[in-house]
Amino acid sequence: MSTKLSDNFQHETCPNCGSNWDGGSIIEEFIRQRDEGNQFWKDKTDDDIRKYVEGWTDDEILAFVDQNMSFDSEEEMQKFLMQDRKDISWHLYSNFNVKVQGSYSPPYRFSRVIGVEIQGMYDGVSYWKCPDCEKTWNRWTGEEEITSIPTHPNYSDRINS
């Protein structure tokens, strides 16, 4: 029986073996790493880690802008705040060296699915692979790969050796 991946499969279960692909909360994992002595996170609070992952809330951006920027009028400040969030983020980073965009996207969870890249064929993931049953699916079609993953002729001797 052939299986196909859904469009948002990374945090679901394997359609072949049923294993859970949800790797857990990114924020909780980074807090755990900090608590275990990870040097990158050692001086970060829970809120610092949340901001790193999710980005700043609108209220946090407003408070920063209110405290650190001056405008000729309330209307000018509102015009600045009505810009696209990416434009605001870029302005605050370039002028104040603060990063307000998060480093991750919702749902802020890890996936256990393995991305398979074939050197010489495409610069990026071409296939998704279950970490438990090792079944593979084509990245673009979601169709199950019945045969082995192809290799580029120039690289096959390096991959299989």
pLDDT in tens, 50-85: 999 999 999 999 999 999 999 999 999 999 999 988
Q: How confident is the model at residue 158 (pLDDT cuts 50, 70, 90)?
A: very low
Single-letter amino acid, residue 58: D
Q: Edge to edge, what strands does the sheet with 114-116 contain?
A: 114-116, 127-129, 136-138
Task: Copy the structure tokens of residue 121.
Answer: 């064929």
CA-to-CA distance for 39 and 43, rounded, in angstroms? 8
Single-letter amino acid, residue 39: Q
Q: Model pTM? A: 0.68
Which pairs with CB-CB distance under 8 Å and at least 24 residues apart come from 91-100? 92/61, 92/64, 92/65, 96/64, 96/68, 98/64, 99/52, 100/55, 100/56, 100/60, 100/61, 100/64
